[in-house]
Structure 1
Amino acid sequence: MVDIKNVVLTNLSGDCAEYSATYQANVTDITRDMDFVSTFDVSEDGQSCTVSANAIPNYDFNDSSAHFAEPVAEQQISLSIPRTPQAATTPTALSMQSDNAIMLNGVVLDLIANGCYKPDDAAADQDGNIANGCGPTVDWRLDPMGPVSFGTDSHNGHTQPGGLYHYHGNPHALFDPEETNQGSPVIGFAADGFPIYGPHYIDTQTGEMRHAVSGYTLKAGTRPSGKGSPGGSYDGTYIQDYEYTQAGTLDACNGMTVNGQYGYYVTDSYPYVMGCFTGTPDPSFQKF
C-alpha cells in the first residue's frame, strides 16, 4: 500500500504498467468536516492496465471556494487503459457520453459540462444559461472553466449527480508547478491510452524547460445574433468561442511528442488538458 496523500509525482514513463501498485490516502471533505479514504489500484496484463478506484482524491477537498451540487460519495470505478496506444486516422471528439481520462489519484477527467445557453428553460439565469440539463448536442455549451461558475473547488473539481468527484481542468495536484529539471511528470492516462503530463517539458534541442501552450484562441468579433444565439463578444463563456489556430506548441487535441513519447499537456487556457482523443478511447470509459 503506497501512501499518496498530497504526493508530487516524478515518473515520465508513458507506459501505464510503470504505475502498477495499490495506493491510498486519508483525506477530509473540508466543508463537511468528514474523513474519507482514497483508494486507487493499477494492475497490468501485458496488453492493458486495469484501474480501480473509489474516485476520492488524494488531498483534502471541497474547500471554501467550492459549492458542490451534491455531497461527494465513494464510487466503484473500473477502467481499462491500452498499454500501446496508437494515433487514429482521425481524432475522436470529446463528448458527454465518455469520461476523458483517469488521473493517477483515481479521479476522472470530464471536461465537457452539461451546461449551455438555453434561455427558455425555467432555470436559466439572466444571460440565458443553465448549468445542467442540456444533453449531448447543443450549439452553445458552457465552458466550466469560463466566467459562469460551476462550483468547483481549488482543484477544479466538483460533483455530478450521484456524488462523483471529477475534474473540469487542471487538477492542481500530482505535479510540481515550478518543475524545471526534467519537465512535468505523467499525472494520468487518457481513455485512448496516451499519458497526460503537467504543463512543462524539456526542449530536446535546447535542453531548456518550456511551458506547453494551447493552440486554441478566442474567435474574433461577436457571436451571431438572433434566436438560438447568446450574442455578445467571444469571451470564453462557451467552448464554441474558441477555435484552433496553431497559435501554441500543441496540436488540436492538446498534445505533442517529446523524446518519442506522445502525450497531452495541462495548459493555462482552453482546452486545459485535452481537446480531443488522438487515439481510440477504450469503451470502459463510456458513462452509459
Structure 2
Amino acid sequence: MGLKELAGNNLGLTSLDLRKLKICFLLADRIEIVPTETIEKKYNLRAGMINQIAEQVSWLLESAYKISELVSDMVNNSQHITILDHMLTNLELKNFLKALALQVKFGVPKEAIGLANLHVPNLGRVYIQRLVQNDLAQAEKIRQTDIEFLKKILPEKIALELKQVVAEKSSTSSTPIQEVDFFAEVKLEIDGSTVKNRWKVVLNQIQHVLSYCSFKYLLKLVEAVYSKPEGWIHKLDLDEGDNQAKYIYRLRKELSLKAEEVIENNGAGSYRLNLKKEEVRVNKENLVRMGEEEIKRLVGKL
C-alpha cells in the first residue's frame, strides 16, 4: 500500500501520522537507490531537504544503537533485568539499528554499506547500484575484478580510485585477505587538510582541528596501529623527554575525549588507539603534499 492509498484509507490517520509515513516511504526509496530526481518529484522535496532528513534520522538510529550498547553494559552488571532490557540488549536488534543507521545515512541497501563507507570520491548512489547489480558489493570481488570490466560499469577515474582503495586496505593488513573486514566503519579520518595552520581530522564523524604537536602524536599512534600487533607505542617512541603525558592530555582535549576513550594507557609507559586498521583512513598523498618533512617521514611508515 502506497502513501496515497494510506491517506485515502479510513484508518483514522492524522496529518502528523501521514507526515511520518511520508518520511518512512521517502527513506525506503532512498535506501533502494531510487534516483534522487525521482524522489524529489515524488515527495515534492529538494535534494538538500532529503539529505537533511536522512542525516537526522540516521543520527536518531545511531543514538538508539548507542543506547542499546549502554543498556547491555548495565544489564551485564545487574541482577534486575526487565523485558525492555532484554529487547535493547538483543544482538539482532542492535545490529539492525546500526546497519539501518548507515543505510539511511548513505542511501544504499544493506549489502552496499561497505561500498559507501569507502568514501571513494564521486562513488555515489547510482554507481554503487551498478556495482551491486553486477555482484560487486564485496571488496574481495572488486579486488579480483579486471579493471577493464570495472571501467564498463564506472567512469574510468572512479574505477581506478576504487581499485586503489581496495588494494590499499588489502596491503596494509597482515590478516589473510578473506578475514579482513574491508568495509568496517571508518571512525578516524585524516585527510591531510589544514584550517588556519591547524590539522583537520574527523573522529566519529565529528571534525576537530589539531595543533601540529597533537597531530604528530596522533600520526605516531596511527602508525603503531598499522605496524604493531597490539598497537602499543612506548612514550619514548612518541617523543623524547618526559612531557609525553602532557601532550597526550592535550591531544585528548583537542579531540574532546574523556580519559581512556580511544587513546589508552597500559600503565607501563605505552599508549595506543583503541581502533582497528580498518577503522582508520589516512590520505597519504595529501599529507605528503603538505611538505612537512617529519609528517612525510611518518606517512612513509604507514
> TM-score category by the smaller chain?
under 0.3
Looking at secondary structure, tell me which structure has more helix per residue. 2
Structure of larger gyration radius? 2
Higher-RCO chain (CA-CA 8 Å, sequence separation at least 6): 1
Looking at secondary structure, tell me which structure has more strand per residue. 1
TM-score by length of 2: 0.25
